[in-house]
Structure 1
Amino acid sequence: MRLICFVITLIVTALHAQDVVVIGGTPGGIATAVTAARLGHRVTLVEYHQRIGGMSASGLGASDIENRAMIQGFFREFVDRVKAHYVAAYGAESEAVKLCKDGYWYEPRVAEKVFESFVVEQPLITVLKHHQLVSAEVKDGRVVAVTILNRATKVEQKLNAKVFVDGTYEGDLIAAAGAEFRLGREARDDFGEPHAWHIYNIPGGERIGGTGAGDKRMQAFTFRIPLSSNPENQVPLTAPPAGYDRTRYLGYFDDLKGGRFGKNLTTIAFTVRKLPNEKVELNMKPLPLGFVFAEENVGYIEAGWTERERITAKIRDLSLGLLWFLQHDSEVPENAHETALKHQPCRDEFPEYDHFPFQLYVREGRRLVGEFTLSERNITEQPGLPSERMHEDAIAVGEFPIDSFPMQKRQPGDTVVLEGYLGMLKKITRPYQIPYRIMIPKKIDGLIVPVPASTTHVAFSSIRLEPTWMALGQAAGVAAHLAIEQNVELRKVPVKEMQAVLMKQGAVLRAE
């Protein structure tokens, strides 16, 4: 009994004496935790779900990156480990290795395995899965503690630390700490952004309408769904989800009749990406006017977790309903039936979640108001807008095209594109330096924010990719290390030293 009490005391003491607490086991949060631990700091990583890895371990089967050379460091380690897994498991010349595309494409279970390998290697990291943030304690303008809840036991626990990190998609810690944040879209005039707020934009092309006014709308949340074509690894759908309503999907027929995106209703509704081991990844295609997911996330970000779970379940059932519709509806053409029925949920993915992804694709939540706000002028080159893409305090490089899902369902008169959709604006987006200041709150100390960072909606549509977040997380881990080592606030961390450490770790800081 004495031994048990001693062990419990040690565990509690360890959790109360952390250097760094990271809220959010997303790829960005994991990169922060691992980087700080490698530099000698005790870290607690807190994750709401029963698994870590965020979207990369929950159906997002590829690393969204257009210019691979621009993001290295921790992210490149992740990619290399993915490839090494497939080589070791199936052989260097295997089909699985070819399909993993040098480690940039992967099955969710493999991504999770890789993230777990990073964490297990670091004895200074304590991982608390199935825990949620309850509150943050702020004294004299500085975060000094957080309270978390064990979702299984309902027991609350207070964690003290020197540095706190918001690695959540929702921006929950910045809100709990009382840091200023933005939610929704800026007006076009707020930052002089040509693609801000209410907008109609030809996919990949020019603006064709919109008021330019600001609002609180959020781009659509969806799931990325891995499916298997191997009957031995399938858990076929046997019934539609609760509350199934086929009429919700009839708008896709308009897209089919108009010949807008092909002649197969399944590939009109989904983007299908081939993954290793006879799997595909379904992405809900935002181009069709029949796209059903816009506005289904209303209220999610500022809701408590009970309401969030209700909204998540609604979007989950809407997703499964679309798949069932394409598999079984009598009006759906046979070619779509055949394509949809060939692929079913994977037996070897997410068994405790009924073989469905655990993480809702929260493409955007709260965004910090930081020491600097990244805007469209900082990530693009286009006529009439000064380009300001370089910064002396650069700690990472962003490179992904501006890409935002629709904000509204089909409105009267919509014949080309849904409102709010900014589809892969490659023509104007250029590699850009990301300044350290976007992770630092204006007034709150002791807090660094690598995921819900300080940007406008338009700029967030470029940085909101897991490779970029891993780069920012790595920088946040280095910043936490220097702040603790030199006993300075995060906003006072010597940037040149931080940049030197990052470059030694293989990070890229120059945008080319």
Structure 2
Amino acid sequence: MLYNRNQIIKLTMNHTFGKTAARFFFIISIFLVFSGYSRHAAAHTARHEPTSADLIVYGGTPAGVIAAVAAARMGHSVIIVEPQVRIGGMTSGGLIRTDVGDEETIGGLSKEFFNRNLAYYVKQYGEGSKQVEKSYQGYFTEPHVAEQIFNEMVKEQANITVLTRHRLVDVAIQQQKIASIAIERVASGEQQTLSGKMFIDASYEGDLMAAAGVPYRVGRESQWEYNESFAGVNYGPKEIRGMGDHKLQAYNIRGTLTRREDIRVLFPKPDHYTPERFEAMKQKILQEGYTKLEELMPHLIGAEMPNGKHDNNDGDLPGVNFAYPEANWEERQQIYAMHRDHWLSLFYMLQNDPELPEAFRADARKWGLPSDEYPENNHITPQLYVREARRMVGKYVLTQNDIRTHRYKETTICVGSYNMDCHVVDYLMTAKGIVPEGGFIEPCDAYEIPYEIIVPHSNENLLVIGGFSATHVAYGSARMEPVFMMLGHAGGLAAHLALQSGSAVQDVAVKQLQSLLTQQGAILKAPYLPDVAIHFTPAEPKVGEEVTFTVEEKDVRAPLKKIWWSLDGTGEINATDKMVKHTFTSAKVNEITLLVEDENGLRSPFIKAEVPVGESAIRDVNVEAEDGEITGEWIRSRSPNYDFRLLYIDGDTKKGGKKTRFVPDLPKTGRYMVSVAYSPGENRATNVPVTIQHSDGTSNVTLDQSTASTLFVYKPLGEFRFEEGESGWVEISNAGTTGQVVVDAVKWIWLGDE
């Protein structure tokens, strides 16, 4: 029975994997699975006899190349299908300053690629050369060198065939397996069919898994779906914060630049020149009196790679990419062209805009495109930086909690360690004007990644290593090229085991997979940190009743030597024993925070618990800086602090002209402890003036932000009486300060009635 599944998908999927669509989709899928079907429409006629291989890898990304090499080295025939003119994805397409994370977590064929890169520069230029130095142990490279190394790894395996400039047209499924895929040559539209025993989707877009009926989603989960504090909308009115949506972090052209005169090509004027988008940047140049490009973009100098290449990560274009994952090939090319012209407009404007000082334009013209890169595309990468697109909903969904707390996995296949990193998602109109929304970058400890995130629920011969199963937040960390390659290594060996045993990918013996990976140099275990939880009894204490708190050891491998409890929510350290007793004197919901350290100096993340005391639903009131009344131009930090609060920094400028007033809506008249959150640092001011308006008048406090008086985030300023409602406030100013002033959050902690 023959079906045109394109029509079915349009009925069931509309840019996001919604619940209603999902139910219908599963009903249709059940019918198709037991009937057998082909996405190959009747009007399509293959011009070649089907070509077959043990493994078909769709997507010649770093993940796809490594998967193919891993399987081929185990003796299997492999075909790589890649829509672009080159293999290597972002690594050969502009991302030459690799997002490494912890080097100790990179192993296996991923590490082999970087070692080969280093060996190339040592052989070409010598051990002590500048090129070797700039390669940073092989993690930094040039696009054409990365492409060369990927090609060498592939050519060493005679059983790998590479089909570049070919793209997916249709998928034929029999029962719960992919039987074949139809592909077309980009240049001519000529089609052919590839049949395989196993398939891997290594594309950034997740095209094969989507065509094969695998459940997926596009966009951001809500904060509450997986209990992720970073999830959903993270700025704007309170009513929308934490909400999920269909939006994606911005894409861009990850351009390669150079100042070398012998290979420099000046930026051409794009077909669609849009200098107006950079008006604010132009005004900054004029106001600050910049005469050099590096004054505007100091990161360019620090991003120098071997042979005078520079990795440029500017030119994000939020919003333009929202339709990209579900777009057809022509629409995707249009979206690429919009990003390319946006990026070119930026640098063409900086080099040629007559309103800019000639000295600045002349310095900007020292920069250009390298003539030895991307000759087929006017020296501009043809690879759009697709930071996320479709994400599979697989056997396991990796979340923020797996990265921050539940870091160890029995079925681990590799280790991630890079920051949770999300570029701006969109721009919102707010009371403070148009502001960027969605961006964050949060450090994390190394964490183990389980096999199940590359395994679909039902498709028995498909693994997904590009759009793997993770939330928007978790994908922001695990989407880095070294991890893609490590997932590719695991995927290639998992395909080998499935082929060898004749089993479904869901039934692959993970212990055997781990053994193979370990033999081939993969790193499977994350560096250990103590894993604990808070246990307390009674579960619902009354006012005045003693509560016993105990450190519950979930995974503790060395004796705990230091323990810190914050039991009253103020940020003060209230106890330091493994078991402590505390009596709450007022009815409310209390927030408890715990931190532990073992005898090796390894420290846990912050562990939190809520303790409801009495029948009152009163909670402490926390006001964040973004909800405050801000005066002056503060720098909104892209990096969230503890509990995902976005900081504002005064930039150590315009002293006396910047302040932020925090106004709470208090639930009840009575006594409150006021605590201020801030991130300490050596460059912070030691004399930050804080004004507190309360029922009994005004109090002034000086805050030293250069040091922390506690391990916890908040610092108590004192106890005050406040009226119910919004009559009181706390104001933090930069008047008379020396050093950076940061405003973060203020908490009113309920102590009781008068």
Tell me the TM-score normalised to structure 1 length.
0.89
Query: C-alpha displacement at 1:143, in angstroms?
Result: 1.3
Match of 2:470 among 440, 452, 455: 455
1:426-477 CA deviation, whole Å, 9 max, x = no partner?
A: 1xx2211000000011122210011110000000000111000000000000
Query: C-alpha displacement at 1:268, in angstroms?
Result: 4.2
Q: d(CA) in 2 for partners of 1:350 and 1:366?
A: 27
Query: C-alpha displacement at 1:282, in angstroms?
Result: 1.0
The residue matched to 2:324 in structure 1 has which SS? coil
Q: d(CA) in 1 for partners of 2:54 and 2:470?
A: 27
Q: d(CA) in 2 for partners of 1:270 and 1:477?
A: 41
Contact 2:116 2:149 in 1 (8 A): yes
1:36-85 CA deviation, whole Å, 9 max, x = no partner?
A: 00011000000001100000001111221120010111111111111111
Q: d(CA) in 2 for partners of 1:254 and 1:209?
A: 34
Q: Residues 270 and 486 from structure 1, CA distance in 2 versus in 1: closer, same or farther, beyond 3 angstroms?
A: farther
The residue matched to 2:414 in structure 1 has which SS? strand
Match of 2:311 among 281, 287, 309: 281
1:409-429 CA deviation, whole Å, 9 max, x = no partner?
A: 363445796200012x11xx2
Contact 2:200 2:462 in 1 (8 A): yes
Q: Which amino acid aligns with 1:418?
A: P
The residue matched to 2:311 in structure 1 has which SS? strand
**Alignment partner, residue 583 of structure 2:** none
2:424 equivalent to 1:411? no
**Alignment partner, residue 231 of structure 1:** 261
List aligned pairs for 1:383-402, cutoff 5 A: 387-402=405-420
**Alignment partner, residue 295 of structure 1:** 319
Q: d(CA) in 2 for partners of 1:322 and 1:265?
A: 12
2:108 equivalent to 1:73? yes
**Alignment partner, residue 420 of structure 1:** 438
**Alignment partner, residue 476 of structure 1:** 491
2:391 equivalent to 1:367? yes
1:300-352 CA deviation, whole Å, 9 max, x = no partner?
A: 11011011001101110010000111111133355643442111111100111
Contact 1:252 1:265 in 2 (8 A): no
List aligned pairs for 1:9-88, cutoff 5 A: 16-88=51-123
Structure 2, unmatched stretches of 5+, are 1-47, 528-754
Tell me the TM-score normalised to structure 2 length.
0.61
Q: Give the structure, 1 or 2, with the largest relative contact order (CA under 8 Å, sep 6 or more).
A: 1
Q: Residues 24 and 198 from structure 1, CA distance in 2 versus in 1: closer, same or farther, beyond 3 angstroms?
A: same
2:258 equivalent to 1:240? no
Match of 1:329 among 333, 338, 353: 353
**Alignment partner, residue 132 of structure 2:** 97
**Alignment partner, residue 637 of structure 2:** none
Q: d(CA) in 2 for partners of 1:443 and 1:437?
A: 12
**Alignment partner, residue 352 of structure 1:** 376
Q: d(CA) in 1 for partners of 2:445 and 2:434?
A: 26
1:90-127 CA deviation, whole Å, 9 max, x = no partner?
A: 11111111111111111101110110110000001000
Contact 2:166 2:185 in 1 (8 A): yes
Q: d(CA) in 2 for partners of 1:324 and 1:391?
A: 49
**Alignment partner, residue 554 of structure 2:** none
Q: Which amino acid aligns with 1:445?
A: E
**Alignment partner, residue 251 of structure 1:** 280
Q: d(CA) in 2 for partners of 1:234 and 1:332?
A: 22
Q: Residues 141 and 189 from structure 1, CA distance in 2 versus in 1: closer, same or farther, beyond 3 angstroms?
A: same
Query: C-alpha displacement at 1:154, in angstroms?
Result: 1.6
Q: d(CA) in 1 for partners of 2:101 and 2:262?
A: 35
The residue matched to 1:277 in structure 2 has which SS? helix
Contact 1:200 1:421 in 2 (8 A): no
The residue matched to 1:434 in structure 2 has which SS? strand
List aligned pairs for 1:112-151, cutoff 5 A: 112-151=147-186
Q: Residues 409 and 107 from structure 1, CA distance in 2 versus in 1: closer, same or farther, beyond 3 angstroms?
A: same
Q: Which amino acid aligns with 1:165?
A: I
Q: Which amino acid aligns with 1:327?
A: Q
Q: d(CA) in 1 for partners of 2:392 and 2:295?
A: 37
If each structure's strand is expressed as a fraction of its own residues, which one has the higher value? 2
Q: d(CA) in 2 for partners of 1:391 and 1:319?
A: 41
Q: Residues 397 and 242 from structure 1, CA distance in 2 versus in 1: closer, same or farther, beyond 3 angstroms?
A: same
Match of 2:518 among 496, 503, 507: 503
**Alignment partner, residue 251 of structure 2:** 221
Contact 1:265 1:332 in 2 (8 A): no
Q: Residues 229 and 186 from structure 1, CA distance in 2 versus in 1: closer, same or farther, beyond 3 angstroms?
A: same
Between the aligned residues of both structures, percent identity stands at 37
Q: Residues 337 and 389 from structure 1, CA distance in 2 versus in 1: closer, same or farther, beyond 3 angstroms?
A: same
Q: Which amino acid aligns with 1:223?
A: I
* Misfit runs of 4+, over 2 Å: 207-210, 251-259, 262-271, 330-340, 409-417
Query: C-alpha displacement at 1:480, in angstroms?
Result: 0.2
Q: d(CA) in 2 for partners of 1:490 and 1:72?
A: 23
Q: Residues 511 and 417 from structure 1, CA distance in 2 versus in 1: closer, same or farther, beyond 3 angstroms?
A: farther
Count of paired positions: 477
